[in-house]
Structure 1
């Protein structure tokens, strides 16, 4: 495995990964997955020998970097790639002037994963695309 993770402008590759994971695998309606925020977001892409295998996006607002659309292809799960993607997104966010915290909406089953990366859950459980989520945040 020769995984590289970097900021990218290849939104098409990120959307293709999200289509596979969210729309096809998790049955998220396309209207909920595709939005108009990709053009203003920072994108992180993981590739294995040049093949896209995971992605995330970062939206900046005031002092907050909102990490979202985090996905890893099924065959790459359990390899540490998801954690590496989040660490890369956090590092990119740290480089942005005035950004002091990171926030995300975690699917309920993934809360322990994000807690290991320093995030803490807050607020009530809510439905996003029919999937139970909780907001999480951490200082940068």
Structure 2
């Protein structure tokens, strides 16, 4: 496998890649309704794209209040630490912007992944888009 790299994406210029990945992961695989996936927050968010060479394989976004979300990696690239690279990029950008608290809503099966990056569960389990989730928080020094 060649080197994976992550960069900040442009919602307008990179829209096709961002949509292709999120539609494959959330809408096709996890049956999230399109109207829940496309929530109106994207225009103001900082987006990240992970690439293998020049092919986009993963995405994440950071909202202006420090919420990280829409972390998604195409099936064939899972288990290769692509999600780690995306999350690290989002955390670094949040900290660069002075956002000392990063929050996210995690699918329950993925909580250990986020805990490895310093997030702690701060809510009871709840359903979102029919999938069990918890809220998680990370506080920077």
**Aligning the two structures, in what range does the TM-score lie when normalised by the shorter sequence?**
over 0.9
**Structure 2, gaps ≥5 residues long:** none
Following superposition of structure 1 onto structure 2, how do residues 26-45 of structure 1 map, counting pairs within 5 Å? 26-45=30-49
Q: Give a deviation string over 1:81-138, Cα, whole Å, max 9, x none.
A: 1111100110111111x41110000000001111111100011111111100000011
Following superposition of structure 1 onto structure 2, how do residues 94-109 of structure 1 map, counting pairs within 5 Å? 94-96=95-97, 98-109=98-109
Question: How much has 1:57 moved relative to structure 2?
Answer: 0.4
> Who is 1:112 aligned against?
112
TM-score (norm 1): 0.93
1:52 aligns with 2:56: yes
Moved over 6 A (4+): none
Q: Distance in 2 between matches of 1:104 and 1:122?
A: 10
Question: How much has 1:2 moved relative to structure 2?
Answer: 2.3
> Who is 1:81 aligned against?
82
Q: Distance in 1 between matches of 2:28 and 2:106?
A: 19
> Who is 1:128 aligned against?
128
TM-score (norm 2): 0.93
**Structure 1, gaps ≥5 residues long:** none
- Structure (1 or 2) with the greater strand fraction: 1
1:3–1:46 contact (8 Å) kept in structure 2: yes
